[in-house]
Structure 1
Amino acid sequence: MSKKPAAQPNRPTQNVRAEEAVIGKILGSAETFWAVSDRLTADQFSVPHHRAIFTAVQECCEHGPGPSLSLLEAKLPTEFEGIGAVEAVLLFLIERAADVTNALDFVDDIILAWRERARIELGKVATVAGKTFDETREDIETLLRVVDDHDRIRHAVRVGDAARAATEKAAEAFQHKGRRAVGVLTRIEEIDLAIGPQIGGTAITLAGASGHGKSGLLAQIFRNGAAASLDPSSVFPSLLISMEMSQIQNAYRNLASITGISVRKQISGDFNQKEFMDLQTARAALDAMPMYVQDRGRLTIDEIEKEIRIAVRRYGIKQAGIDNLKLIKPSRDNWSLVQTIEEATARTKALAKELDIVIWQLAQLTRDGQKTGNWRFRAADIYGGGLVVENSDLVLGCAVPIVWLRENKPEPPSEANPRGREAFDKWLKDMEVLKHKAEFAAFKVRDGRGETWKEMDFDGPRMLFGNADREPIPF
C-alpha cells in the first residue's frame, strides 16, 4: 500500500508586514532606497499603494534630491482610495518601521511572496483556452524572462564587490587546477594556448572562407566539450543554430569526423561490415553527448535568441553556435546584410552575458578578403565590417591551405608557358608540405595580444583540427 504524500504547506502570496517595513525605511532615506532597489522593483510589492509609494521614492532618488515627505506628497495622489490620506499613510508606514534595523532583512520575504504569485500566474498562463501551443509557450517564456530579469542585479556594483567575486573564482580554479574545468576549452592544444579557457558571457566570432572548415571546427569544439567525463564540470552541453545544413547533414559530418568514413560513403552505403560497426559505435558516442541542433532554416536574431533561451532552460547548454551570420534574416525589410550582421553580433554579445554562456558565431569573408594572394586574411576582411570585431570578445580565423592551393593551381610549364616551372614547382611543394596542415589566427583576445597565423595538424578526410590523440591541457 503506497503512502499518501504529505501535504505541502501553502506558501504566502503576500507579506504585508515585510512590505510595510521596507517602504517605511526608504521614506526619507535615499541610501536605504538604493540598497533595496538593487534587489526589488515596484511590481514585486503586492499592495497597490506600496507600489505607488516605491515608484514615487524611485523618481525622487533618480531625478531629485531624495525622498522628502513634501516631495513625495506632491508626486502621489492626495488620497489612496479605500486607505486614507497620503500624508497619514506615509506617517503610518514610518511608524510601522520604527523598530526595523535593516530594510534588507525583509527583502527576501517580499521576493518569495512575489515568486509564489508568479508561479500561480504561470499556471494560469499555461491553461488559457483558445491559444495554440506556440502562443502558450511564448507567453510562458515571457513570464519566465521577467522572473530572470528580477533575479539579476540591475544597478552598478562596486568594483571591489566584483573583484571579490573574481578572486573567489580564481581561488576555486587554483584549488582544482589540473583536476577540474575552470572554463570552456576547445581541447585543441594550439587554440587553447592562444585563447585560454573561456568563461560564460563570451561572444566569439570564428571567421574563414567558404570551404575552409569553420563548421567542422565548431562541431569538433562542441564534441570535445560534450564528451563524457568523470568530472561533470568539464562537460559543456551545446546548441547549434544551423541555417545552412540540415540536422542529417550535421550528423553525417560528425560521424565522418569520428570514424573517418566520408559523408559520400555514408550516403551511398559504400562501406563494409567493420565500418558499419564503427558507425554504430560513433552513433552511440554522439547519443551520449548533450549536443543539440536546430535546423529551421534562416531565422531572425529574435528567433535565434528565443531558441537559445529555450535551450538554456531545457537542456542547460553552456555553449551555442550560429552557422552562419550571413544567413540571419533581417529584422527590418529595408536593412542591408551588413546592418543585419551588426545588429546580430551586438545582440549575441548581450545574450551571452545575460545567459552566462559562450556563443560562437561563424562569419564569412568579403570578396576582397578572399583575394589576398594566399589563404591568410586579416580581421578587416571579415564580412560585416569593424563592428563585428568590436562586438566580439574574441575573433578567430581559420584556413586550410590545401583548399586554397587546389583553387589556385598555377598553369603547368609548357612550350607556351616556359617560365611557369618555378611557380608550379613551388605549388607542388606546398601541396605536399601543407596537405596535413591547417592554420588559425587569434585576431582579438581578451588580453589584447593579437596572434599571428599559426600551424596545427589537420586531418582532411575526417575534418579534424589539431592532434586529436594528445592529452588535454591541464589549465
Structure 2
Amino acid sequence: MDNLSKKELNKINVINDAEKNVLAIISHSIAAAEEVFSILTEEDFTVMNYKVIFKALQEQFLAKVAINITTLSNYMLKNNMLNKIGGIEFLTDLFQSYTTDANLTEYLDIIIKNTTSRRLKAVLENIHREIETHQPIDEVVSKAEKEILDVKKERKGNLFKTSFDEVDKVLQKIELLENSGEMLTGSPSGFRDLDRMTSGFQKGDFIILAARPSMGKTALALNFAVKSAAQSKKAVAIFSVEMPVEQLIQRMIGSYSTVDSAKVRTGKGLQTRDWENITKAADFLKQTKLFIDDTPGLKVIELQSKLRKLCRENEVGLVVIDYLQLLSTGTHFGDSRQQEVSTISRQLKALARELEIPIICLSQLSRSVEKREDKRPIMSDLRDSGAIEQDADIIMFLFREDYYATHDPNNLDVPLETEKAQLILSKHRNGPTGSVELLFVKKHGSFADYGLQNSKI
C-alpha cells in the first residue's frame, strides 16, 4: 500500500465505500436486496469482510429470513462467519452506516466497473502468460478476442429481458416493416420463392445447405452470396475450404456473364461479345462487398477470429462456409469424427447468435441417398452428425432429378442445357417447410428462379 499513489488510494477508498454502502442498503431494504442479488455475486466484492457478509445476507435472503443485526449476527455466529470479519463490532458499524438507498444505482455502477476492470486485467495477464509459454499465436488471438468480449457480455447475459420492453420493440419493428412495404426482414437470397418462404435469411440463423457431390451446392451458395451482396449492399463473407479464391471468382464471372464456364476456365474460344460480358461481370463483382477466405484446413477458432474482426469493421449481411466437413477444431477427438462435427456445428450456431448474422454452411450427404429408389434427400442423410439437425434453424437440400438421368449409363439422351432443380426446406424453425423450384443452367453454373431462364445472378 505504501507504493500506491494518492490517486490509486482514492480509487480504492471509493470502491470500498461503494461495497460497504451496498451491504448497508440491502440489510435495510428487501426491494434493494432483490435488485442487488440479481446483479452482484460475492466475487464482485474486493474486501474479504464484505464478501463474507454479502454471502451471509444472500443466504438469509434466500431462506426468507427477516434481515436485521440480530438475525444476521446469530446466523454468522452459528456458521463460523462472525469471527472471519472481526466480530460483532464490524457488523454493527456496517448497519449503523446506513443513511439512504437513493444512491444504490451509483454504488452498483462503481462495483460493476471495478469487476469488469479486474477481469479484463486477468484476461490480459493470461494472454501474456500464453505468449510467454509459446502457445500457437492464432489460438491465443482467437481466445483473447472471445474472452475480452465475454468480459463485457457476461453481466448483460445475467439480466432478464422484460416482456414490457421486448413487446414494444417487436411492435416497432412490425410498424417499420408495414411502412417500408418491404417483405424481407433478413438478408436476401436473391431467389423470389425462397425469399417468400423465409422472408430472407434471418440474423442469428444457422442454415445448412446440403446435397450430394456435383449437385451444384457451391454454385447455389455463390449465387446466394453475390445476390445478397448486390441487393443488400452489405458485406458478405465466403469461407472456401475446398476451392481457392481464383476458382471461385472464375465461377462467379461465368455465372454472371452467361459465358460458357469452360471458356472462362480455359480462356479458349472467347469471342468479342464474350469479353464484353466478362468485363461487365468483373465490374459488377468489383462493386460488391465480397470478402473471401480460402485458407485450406481452416480451424473453427481461426474462422471465429476472422469473422469477429470482419464484423467489427463492416456491416456483414451473410456468411457462407464451404463446407462443414472440411473444417476442423484442432482438437483431438480420437476416431470420433462425428463428435468433432457436432462440436463444429454447435460453435457455428453460437457464432451466428453472437454476431447476429445468418451463417449458411454447406454440408455433404451420406451415400445412403444413392441406394434408395427415391433419391430426394431427408434429414437422416446428413453426413457425420445428427447434431446438425438439432443445431440448424434451416436445413435445405438441393436436388436435381435430371442429374441421375444424365448419369445413368442406360440413358442415351443428349444432356439438357438446363435442368429443373428443387430446393427442399426440410426444417425451418421459424417458418414453413416445402420446396422451391429453381432452374439450373449447367453451361454457366448458375441458378435462376424457375421460368426465368434469362435472369442473371
TM-score by length of 2: 0.77
8 Å CA contact retained: 2:319, 2:360: yes
Q: Deviations over 1:276-313 (max 9, x none)?
A: 45444433433333322222222344443333333333
User: Which residue of structure 2 aligns with residue 98 of structure 1?
Assistant: 99
Q: Aligned AA for 2:263?
A: K
How many equivalent pairs are there? 433
- Provide closer, same or farther for how the CA distance between residues 339 and 273 of structure 1 changes in structure 2, counting only shifts above 3 A: same
Shift of residue 125 of structure 1?
Answer: 8.9
8 Å CA contact retained: 2:400, 2:420: yes
Q: Aligned AA for 1:249?
A: Q
Report 1:421-436 matches (<5 A). 432=416, 435-436=418-419
Report 1:184-195 matches (<5 A). 184-195=187-198
Distance, in Å, in 1 between the alignment partners of 2:304 and 2:80 is: 39
1:358 and 2:341 correspond: no
Shift of residue 25 of structure 1?
Answer: 3.2
1:216 and 2:219 correspond: yes
- Provide closer, same or farther for how the CA distance between residues 66 and 281 of structure 1 changes in structure 2, counting only shifts above 3 A: farther
8 Å CA contact retained: 1:57, 1:72: no
Distance, in Å, in 2 between the alignment partners of 1:177 and 1:87 is: 68
Distance, in Å, in 2 between the alignment partners of 1:97 and 1:165 is: 39
- Could you tell which deviates more after superposition, 394-403 or 113-122? 113-122
User: Which residue of structure 2 aligns with residue 388 of structure 1?
Assistant: 388
Report 1:75-474 matches (<5 A). 78-79=83-84, 85=86, 88-89=89-90, 91-96=92-97, 98-101=99-102, 103-104=104-105, 106-111=107-112, 134=138, 137-138=141-142, 140-150=144-154, 152-159=156-163, 161-178=165-182, 182-227=185-230, 234-270=232-268, 271-272=270-271, 275-276=274-275, 278-329=277-328, 331-373=331-373, 375-412=375-412, 432=416, 435-447=418-430, 449-451=432-434, 453-467=435-449
Distance, in Å, in 1 between the alignment partners of 2:357 and 2:80 is: 42
- Provide closer, same or farther for how the CA distance between residues 114 and 455 of structure 1 changes in structure 2, counting only shifts above 3 A: same
Distance, in Å, in 2 between the alignment partners of 1:34 and 1:215 is: 54
- Could you tell which deviates more after superposition, 188-197 or 372-381? 372-381
- Provide closer, same or farther for how the CA distance between residues 59 and 388 of structure 1 changes in structure 2, counting only shifts above 3 A: farther
- Provide closer, same or farther for how the CA distance between residues 78 and 235 of structure 1 changes in structure 2, counting only shifts above 3 A: farther
- Provide closer, same or farther for how the CA distance between residues 25 and 204 of structure 1 changes in structure 2, counting only shifts above 3 A: farther
8 Å CA contact retained: 1:326, 1:337: no
Distance, in Å, in 1 between the alignment partners of 2:139 and 2:332 is: 22
Shift of residue 184 of structure 1?
Answer: 2.0
Q: Aligned AA for 2:189?
A: T
8 Å CA contact retained: 2:25, 2:100: no
Identity of aligned residues (%): 20
Distance, in Å, in 1 between the alignment partners of 2:32 and 2:197 is: 46
- Provide closer, same or farther for how the CA distance between residues 459 and 122 of structure 1 changes in structure 2, counting only shifts above 3 A: same
Q: Deviations over 1:186-220 (max 9, x none)?
A: 12111112222333221111111111121222222
Aligned-partner SS, 2:418: coil
Distance, in Å, in 1 between the alignment partners of 2:65 and 2:299 is: 44
Shift of residue 250 of structure 1?
Answer: 1.9
Shift of residue 388 of structure 1?
Answer: 1.7
Aligned-partner SS, 2:398: strand
8 Å CA contact retained: 1:29, 1:67: no
- Provide closer, same or farther for how the CA distance between residues 133 and 329 of structure 1 changes in structure 2, counting only shifts above 3 A: closer
Shift of residue 261 of structure 1?
Answer: 3.5
Q: Aligned AA for 1:460?
A: K
8 Å CA contact retained: 1:206, 1:396: yes
User: Which residue of structure 1 aligns with residue 6 of structure 2?
Assistant: none
Distance, in Å, in 2 between the alignment partners of 1:75 and 1:261 is: 83
Shift of residue 448 of structure 1?
Answer: 6.0
Structure 2 residues not aligned, in runs of 5+: 1-9
8 Å CA contact retained: 2:299, 2:328: yes
- Could you tell which deviates more after superposition, 305-314 or 463-472? 463-472
Q: Aligned AA for 1:400?
A: R
8 Å CA contact retained: 2:321, 2:360: yes
Q: Aligned AA for 2:227?
A: N
Aligned-partner SS, 1:152: helix
Shift of residue 49 of structure 1?
Answer: 5.7
8 Å CA contact retained: 2:222, 2:252: yes
Distance, in Å, in 2 between the alignment partners of 1:456 and 1:166 is: 33
Distance, in Å, in 1 between the alignment partners of 2:384 and 2:402 is: 26
Distance, in Å, in 2 between the alignment partners of 1:445 and 1:218 is: 18
Aligned-partner SS, 2:157: coil
Q: Deviations over 1:11-61 (max 9, x none)?
A: x97752554444443447676455346555666666666566656666776
Aligned-partner SS, 1:311: helix
- Provide closer, same or farther for how the CA distance between residues 239 and 405 of structure 1 changes in structure 2, counting only shifts above 3 A: same
TM-score by length of 1: 0.74
Distance, in Å, in 1 between the alignment partners of 2:419 and 2:321 is: 27
Distance, in Å, in 2 between the alignment partners of 1:342 and 1:393 is: 15
Q: Deviations over 1:415-464 (max 9, x none)?
A: xxxxxxxxxxxx67xx65x924221111111246431x342233333333
Shift of residue 336 of structure 1?
Answer: 2.4
- Provide closer, same or farther for how the CA distance between residues 25 and 260 of structure 1 changes in structure 2, counting only shifts above 3 A: farther
